[in-house]
Each structure stands twice: as structure tokens, then as C-alpha cells.
Amino acid sequence: MSPVDRGSALDLSFLAPVVLVMGKGGVGKSTLAAGLAYAASNAGAPATLIEFGDGEAGKRALARSDRDVEHCVITPEQALEAGAAPLFGSALLAKVAFGNFAMKPLLRAAPAIRELAMLEAVRIAAVQRPGRRIVVDMPATGHGVAWLRVPRQGRDFLGSGPLFELCDRLARKLLSKGCASIVVVTLPEALVLEETLELCHALQTETALNVEALVLNRQAVSLPSAALDEAVRWSQKGGAVGAAAHEVLNILRSREQNRESQRSSLAPLRAAGCRFFSVTETVEAPSAQRVAALLQEVREA
């Protein structure tokens, strides 16, 4: 494997031990989360990627990884059973309750219980893995914000009791500054960028966490000026070659115009005050290792 493929160590020390990766569905959030875990491991810290559901996205992204990246898949059933233990007084009673045909659907139907249980599973995973970077592939935009909102709302509403203690523990030991950081993934598309701004505003006003980093995924590579000059030269030739070159020239010019439009659309995101990163577009779906190699911090204003 070449040094280029392996990628240079990216400094992620500004992030808290637990990194919550968020973004609209379809922006490459899961692959980027795996890439961040790989980048952390590449920098010398063992890392764990936490994924909810079937875990297939993380499994694909981490295939053939040569770094110490643990893939931890948390299912709703596992999280509910573990997270409900404090509510029932013990893990054994929680297991009995979930085995009851009447209680099982009732608990699963309560959205707040599911969200709290999944977050508690993340907190427990972090406690059990001291010294590891924990990267969490969070649910897409709306659901992700709802997850982070529930502990504070529950704590303020309940006031006491086991469920209050669970909410309070999550608010203090997971969803607080110094414990967790948020990284938001977006795309260089006007509608997606607009929704990303709305997501950042919601996180800032409705949770105790700020967005620490924005990642612009699938950014188009800038064309060398020689490519446009060459296309112009060939387009001036006659016949089929000239006609084909003219079509190529139009495509290249449109691409560059889109890049300029994207740059102006990014201005509000840059004004958010967080660190800004980009990942250039690739022909095929990239692996976590490839994402880590492509992930670069953008420092210009």
C-alpha cells in the first residue's frame, strides 16, 4: 500500500472523545463516520465506529481496513434491554419485562424510551472503552436532532425518578461539551447546504452541543487551466472532432460555473465558526481508508 493510499495523520484532537456524525440522508454520512474512525486510528488512537441497525454501511466502508477500528453495531432490541435496566432496577427484570408479550410492544412504541436507550448504549460503550475514539453514525437530520433533544427535555419535565436519572446522566456524561462533539456532513448542492444550515441552527438552539466541524463531501476537483485551453483549441477544429470537443468544452465550463456557485453557497456555513473539511469526489464509493486519505481541512476564509 502506498503512503498516498494510507493518508497522512489528520489532527482530530480538537474533538471530544465521542464524535456524533450527523447530516441529511444520502450525503455519505455513514462512510464519512467510518473514515473519521479510520483517521483517528491512523493518528495513533484506537477507534470504535458505532452504528445502529444492521451495520452493513459501516461493514462495507471498513472492509480491508488495516487499522485498529472496532465496528460496534447496536440494535434497538439490545439498546432497549440494556437501557431499560435502570428503569426496572436490574438487567434481569428488564429482560423479563421485554420477554413479556404485553410489555414488549408497549416499550418499543414509546419513542423517548427508544431514543434514550440508544444514547445510553453509546454512553456505556464509551465507558467500557477508555482511551478509544468513539465515532457514532447518528440517524439522519430530523431524527438525530430529536435524539439529542430528548434527555434535556426529559430531565426538565420529570424532576425525579429512574427515568429522570437516565436523562440526567445522558445530559451530563454524554451530551455535554467535553464529552461529545458534533460533526456535520453536507454536499456542495444548494438545497442540501440550506438544510445543513437549518440543522446547525437546530443543534445550536435545541441541544447543549455545538457543531465542531463541517465536512463538505464529494467536492468537485478543480480543473487545471490547461484542460480548458486544450478543449477550446480542439473545439475550433472542424468536423466531428471539433463538434465533440465543443460539447466537452460546454460540460467543463458548466462544471466550473457550478463550482463558483458552490463557493458562494458555502459562505454562510463558513461563517458558523467551526472547523471546515472537504472530501473530493471519487468515481466509486470510497472505503473508510480512502475517505481518511481524502479528508482535508480547508483553512482559507
pLDDT in the model for residue 107: 55
Identify the CA nearest to 62 among candidates 284, 291, 216.
291
Q: Are 162 and 87 in contact (CB under 8 A)?
A: yes
pLDDT in the model for residue 248: 85
- Model pLDDT for residues 85-141, shown as the tens digit of each residue: 666 666 666 666 556 555 555 555 555 778 888 899 999 999 999 999 999 999 988
Q: Kind and range of the H or E element at 10?
A: none
Q: Is pTM beyond 0.85 here?
A: no
Can you tell me the distance from the alpha carbon of 71 to that of 34, in angstroms, rounded to the nearest whole number? 9
- Model pLDDT for residues 178-204, shown as the tens digit of each residue: 999 999 999 988 888 889 989 998 998
**Mind spelling out the 3-state secondary structure of 28-81?**
CHHHHHHHHHHHHHHCCCCEEEEEECCCHHHHHHCCCCCCCEEEEEECHHHHHH
- Model pLDDT for residues 66-78, shown as the tens digit of each residue: 777 999 999 877 7
Q: Are 43 and 105 in contact (CB under 8 A)?
A: no
CB atoms within 10 A of CB 278: 17
Sign of CA dihedral 262, 266, 267, 270: negative
Grid cell digits, residue 22: 450527523
Domains and CATH numbers, the chain: 3-221+270-297 (3.40.50.300)
Can you tell me the distance from the alpha carbon of 164 to that of 12, in angstroms, rounded to the nearest whole number? 33
